[in-house]
Amino acid sequence: MEKEFINPQALPNWEQSFTQVITVSPVRATKIVYISGQVAVDQDQNLIGEGDLAAPAMQAFQNLATALAAGGATTADVVKMNIYLRDYKPENAAPVSEALHRYFPHRQLPTSTWLGVQALAKEGFLIEVDAVAIVE
C-alpha cells in the first residue's frame, strides 16, 4: 500500500499541525483520499466571512473541493464527510446546506455527520469540514 501526503499550494500551509490531503493506494486500482478538516480561510490563512456563516461555509467547501482535486478526487468521489459547526443552532442548517449543495450537486450525497461543537481550532472559525473519498 502506498501513501502520498499532499499539501497543495492553493491551501494554507499548516504542515506542522497536519497534512491537508493523504491518498492511500491499495493493491488494486482504487485510491482512498483522506482530507483534513477545511475551514474558512484563504491560502494565506486569512479568515473569510467572520461572524456570518454563509461565507465561511462556502469557503470551507471550496477548500474541501481544492483539497480533493489535489488528491485526484472530486466531490462525487466523497463517501464520508463530517461537518463541525461552532455553537450550532437549527437556523445554521440553511447556509450550510446551500454551500453543501453548491459543491455536492450530485443526486447521491456522501454519508455525513453534522456536529455542533463548542469551539474549533482558532478563534473565529465557525465551520470545519473533513472527508474521505474513494477514487477508482
The pTM is what? 0.86
DSSP of 46-94: -B-STT-SHHHHHHHHHHHHHHHHHTT--GGGEEEEEEEEET--GGGHH
Domain of 67 in residue numbering reads as 2-135
Q: Residue 101's domain is classified under what CATH number?
A: 3.30.1330.40
25-29, 45-49, 83-87, range with the lowest pLDDT? 25-29
pLDDT for 92 beyond 80: yes
Count of structural domains, the chain: 1
Please report the pLDDT score of residue 63 as a whole number.
98
Q: What is the mean pLDDT of residues 26-38?
A: 87
Please report the pLDDT score of residue 1 as a whole number.
58
How does pLDDT run across 49-70, given as a tens digit for each residue? Answer: 987 899 999 999 999 999 999 9
Please report the pLDDT score of residue 3 as a whole number.
74
Q: Which amino acid is at 14?
A: W
